[in-house]
Structure 1
Amino acid sequence: MTIDCTAPSHRISPLIYGIAFDGLTEKRDKHQYEVGATTRRWGGNPTSRYNWKLGGAWNTANDWFYQNVDIGLSYDDFLESNRKHGMTSALTVPILGWVAKDAKSVGFPVSRFGSQQQEDNGSGNGLARDGTPLKPGAPTLTSTEAPPEFIAEWIRAIRKKDQERGQRSVQTYILDNEPMLWNSTHRDVHPEPLSYDGLLERTIAYGTVVRKEDPEGLIAGPAEWGWTNYLWSAADFAPGKMPHSDRRAHGNMPLLPWYLRQLREHEKKTGVRLLDIVDLHFYPQTNVGVGLEGNTDPATNARRIRSTRGLWDPTYKDESWIGEPIRLIPRMKEWVADNYPGLRISIGEYNFGAFRHMSGGLAQAEALGRFAQENIYSAYFWQYPTEGSPVFWAFRAFRNFDGKGSRFQDWWVPAKATEGTSVFASRDEAGGKMVAVVLNFDPDQAAQAQIQLKGCGTLDSVRVLGYSGAPGGFTEQTPGAKAAGSLTQRLPPYSMTVLDLTVKKP
């Protein structure tokens, strides 16, 4: 392994260590604040239908029978909790056009639509017994209209409180959540698949009021879910229409580049920038699971770890139905450079499944290291790591590996490792303190890492902490042999090792 302090470096955005808000467990699970997250995102399908005037009311969409519910927590509770715990806030604002009108109505009541494939206390999943989608009723069954002025009023209320307390509470506004899936996730109020033009029109209409009410806030979008909607619209797959007809009607440009180019043209014409951050979601399509779910047989574990390469590696051919390199972050950088230079990049949702298995933890640690390497602006894990899980300790490898606040430093240092391992290195502003996170992906074999420090100075002190899945997280390890510009360290099978170093500058 080589850590090269002579190569160009960059400052790491602290917002890559983000997590999501889970309204259903917020009150009872305080361990999310122990993971070391720097920012939290108010997002997910229900936030597309959040009614800020009703406190905690939103619609659960197809996640749970299209039910209006009150989660017992308002957006202001979320913002206040973030301030209390030293985290910044990214707030999803609905541009769908409909929000929950109360905390009790449902989209497909059995009393009106009859027996359905699945039911919960009188509400159905919108599918007939044979699986046929039922034609939805009027949106007013569950919802009330939410035009741009509804959002403008919300932001005015937020900014008024900010001014009273003298502190900003929202750093980023995200323009809704996965809009190209609305015709399935929210088909009770938006059954028609969204088009290129529909996405742009809503972005302009709602983005304009967000910018007007909070000129210094950052605006992110379009928060699309994955591969098909990086490249095509929902209308491109509409039943009864020629495949990809919407894309062909827009110069055959992939959705995201077209979207960015149109917003750049809008800024040229009006002088108003409506997007600061390109926000896309990333979920491996290689059948590795999401959240706590996912098989943990050897083949799936190895594929789970490899799937992280879809974020950054141009040589990695995705092992799913996609079947070609995704290279998401380099692709996003190219799209920005070609169509709207200067925009920042965010991965607004991602995870690799199997939270409680070491393969899930290693995939997570790999992703955090790559976010630092690729110099993106922000990333938000979905939802948040469960206490004591390998994914929890993957965050802690970068954010608080010794339980006393020691962490990955603020400047990225380029580093290289052999196949089957990774090394991610960082230094402080002065260059005298360095922290490296070293990963061994082999479940059976230990590795002997020989690490060369190129141009970093003379190695002074070495502290080593390791984690291989045992309860309690990182523990002190015996340092290996060290010389002026190198060290040797044993890496146990399936392990994360943190090297906490000091160097004397030449």
Structure 2
Amino acid sequence: MRTVRKATLAALALLLAGAAVPAQAGPVHPAAAAAGPALTVDTSIGRHAIDPNIYGINFADEDLAADLRLPVRRWGGNATTRYNFTLDAYNAGHDWYFENLYYRNGTADLPAGSEADKFVEQNRRTGTETLLTVPMIGWTTAERNDACGFSIAKYGPQQGSDAQWRPDCGNGTASDGTEISGNDPTDTSVRIGPEFSGAWVRHLRETFGAADDGGVRFYNLDNEPDLWHATHRDVHPEGATYEEIRDATYATGAALKDADPGARTLGPAGWGLNSMIYSGLDQQVCSREGGSCWSDPPERAAHDGLQFAPWYLREMRAYEERTGRRVLDYFDEHIYPQQQGVALADAGDAATQELRLRSTRQLWDPSYVDESWINQPVQFIPRMRDLIDEHYPGTKVAITEYNWGALNHINGALAQADVLGIFGREGVDLATLWSPPGAGDPGAHAFRMFLNYDGKGGRFGETGVHAAGADQEKLSVYAAERGSDGALTVMVVNKTTQDLTAPVTLKDRGRARTAEVHRYSRADLTAITREADQAISRRGTFTATFPAYSITEFVVPAAGEGSLTARPPTAPPATAGAGPIPPAVGREPGGHVVR
């Protein structure tokens, strides 16, 4: 992730153009709730494992990680591309005037005691898995000094500089608006190869144990390499090619596995949808040339006409077939919704809030045309799975950066809860939010609804089951069984500004007659509240009112005294509820095929 991104497309500049945040209380609720869409949960179909690692966060602080029982925490972003573990120093790249920066942890015992070591130590204290980013760019920070990539004294006047702290450090853009070229990369950095990353992993293994014995398990193979020509252009001015990323993955992946055979690798960690379609070089060239270049980029033609991601996965499969060794475990891509005012932004006006909640459909829905420059269905997660199935079966799916914005607002909390539900339903294997919400922010409560809804470790289940709603634009529903006690957990997100009363049917014959109800809503933005228990009929039905802009979790215990009959009935039960319930025909809403 970046604080400043060189625009691959002009539309990317709109990401941070958020409007003022409206009052979170919103409009007064109507006197009576409106009729909501029917919801159905069926535990007999759509059963699949939900990996707890989908609930990860980049750089979460210790109190939040402990409270959430955070499963995985990532050390990532542009600054990690040139992190030097032996110096505890890094280069900020385009994010901050291409400056060398360093952590003030002392140097006597380095690499012991580095910021990276402290990151791992925190994770061990909170029982959290570590995901570290290792460099593949071929350069790392040379010294713990104040050097920068585009010294004004050396390369001339520039349009911007770090006037407050290091006035000599420019932004790399000359006064006439052209980018400075021909600078010396050794002003800040030194060349490295895959052995550098291997040495880091050996240090981590010696310090914290092997990956399979409580040590560092996950490693990102650098960060957004298809944007190196922008984010780290002082050392990598040319866009990364197909072969460069392939060969670096081969070599770095092998070095990591040599150092710790249990390590799991994630790549290529591209910045978004374009990362699956284009190489870094094609993005660079087509950003400059525009027009038909985007439909016929120069590098693709030289690679069997394949877009980058299928070619990359095909080459990873070929490596394993040739060597008997897998060097890529997770196919990892980032996603930031490109709709104006959504990602990394405040809540915005009412129209933007509606857009934010609609835009989560780009993760799965074939009928949703992305409301941005993309202007076509994205189906981000099914797209990733289809690429894996065709080109490298057995690879897992990761999304190590995403952000739907407004984490300080109930609107962002709803979007975040919806995204987490989608990740579980669609079979993502690992995901980490960029960047962490504050512990008291609504976005943190969205995570708590899945990880610690009652403050006592109550969690959403880990075996997903079929859950469908007649209108997911109003009520999104997700369901899973919990292995520890057999409870069924059902999450319902009311995305509307109106209270909705809806019929719910649980097609499960081994459940208690009452459910716990836990809710996060505008009524109290500081806490998840325990509501009155929900009664359930013998037929497994009930009707509930879902407050406007709320997240509700039902926890239905397994069979016990006063439960629904645990024995299968001799005839199909009648369907109860105030309205039609869509038939369960092996598909989730919007055409998702149940796995």
Shorter-chain TM band = over 0.9
Higher relative contact order (CA 8 A, sep 6+): 2
Q: Say whether the 8 Å CA contact 2:70–2:126 is kept in structure 1.
A: no
Residue 206 of structure 2, aligned match among 143, 160, 163? 160
Q: Does 1:336 align with 2:374?
A: no
The aligned amino acid for 1:94 is P
> SS state of the match for residue 512, structure 2?
strand
Tell me what 1:176 maps to.
222
Specify the code of the residue in structure 1 equivalent to 2:545. R
In 2, Cα distance between equivalents of 1:276 and 1:164: 17
Other structure's SS at 2:229 match: helix
Does 1:299 find its partner at 2:337?
no
TM-score after normalising by structure 2:
0.80
1:348 counterpart letter in structure 2: T
% identity of equivalent residues: 39
The Cα of 1:490 is off from its aligned counterpart by 1.1
Is structure 2 residue 411 aligned with structure 1 residue 356? no
The match for 2:483 among 421, 429, 433 is 429
Q: State the TM-score, normalized to the length of structure 1.
A: 0.94
Is the counterpart of residue 76 in structure 1 residue 131 in structure 2?
Answer: no
Kept in 1, the 8 Å contact 2:511–2:556? The answer is: no
Alignment partners' CA distance in 1, 2:44 and 2:347: 42
Name the residue aligned to 2:231: 185
- The offset of 1:214, in angstroms, is 1.5
Give the Cα separation in 1 of the matches to 2:182 and 2:504.
Answer: 61
| CA apart distance, 1:274 | 1.1
Shift of 1:130: 4.1
2:457 to 402, 405, 410: 405
Deviation, structure 1 residue 16: 0.5
- Name the SS for the 2:400 alignment partner: strand
Residue 494 of structure 1 corresponds to which residue in structure 2? 549
1:33/1:135 CA distance change after superposition, 3 Å:
farther
Q: State the distance in 1 between where 2:131 and 2:210 align.
A: 20
Please give the root-mean-square deviation of Cα atoms over the aligned residues, in Å: 2.0
| Structure 1 residue matching 2:526: 3-state secondary structure | coil
* 8 A Cα contact 2:513 2:535, kept in partner: no
What letter corresponds to residue 74 of structure 2 in structure 1? R
Q: Secondary structure at the match of 1:282?
A: coil
Contact 1:467 1:496 in 2 (8 A): yes
Q: Report SS of the residue matched to 1:53.
A: coil
2:302 is the counterpart of 1:245: no
- How far residue 81 of structure 1 moved from its aligned partner, in angstroms, is 0.7
Query: 2:313 aligned with 1:313, yes or no?
Result: no
| Number of aligned residue pairs | 498
One-letter amino acid matched to 2:530: E
Which of the residues 337, 343, 353 maps onto 1:284?
337
In 2 relative to 1, CA 116–32 (structure 1 residues): closer, same or farther, beyond 3 Å? Answer: farther
Query: Is the radius of gyration larger for structure 1 or structure 2?
Result: 2
Q: 1:503 to 1:320 in 2, by over 3 A?
A: same
1:218: which partner in 2?
264
In structure 2, C-alpha distance between the alignment counterparts of 1:493 and 1:8, rounded to whole Å: 29
8 Å contact kept, 1:218–1:275:
yes
Find the aligned partners of 1:192 and 1:166 in 2 and give their Cα distance: 38
Structure 2 residue runs of 5 or longer lacking an equivalent are: 1-38, 105-113, 560-565, 568-595
Q: Work out whether residues 401 and 434 of structure 2, in 8 Å CA contact, stay in contact via their aligned partners in 1.
A: yes
Determine helix, strand or coil for the equivalent of 2:57: strand
* Residues 410 and 442, structure 2, Cα contact 8 Å, conserved in 1: yes
**C-alpha distance in 2, partners of 1:446/1:170?**
46
- 2:70 is the alignment partner of 1:37: yes
CA shift at 1:86, angstroms? 0.5
CA contact (8 A) 1:43 1:91 kept: yes
Could you tell me how far apart the structure 1 residues matched to 2:324 and 2:482 are? 39
Question: In the alignment, does 2:321 pair up with 1:268?
Answer: yes
Give the stretch that moved more between structures: 255-264 or 240-249.
Answer: 240-249
- The range that moved more, 159-168 or 189-198, is 159-168
Q: Deviations over 1:422-457 (max 9, x none)?
A: 1111112377411111110002x1011211010242
AA aligned opposite 2:415: A
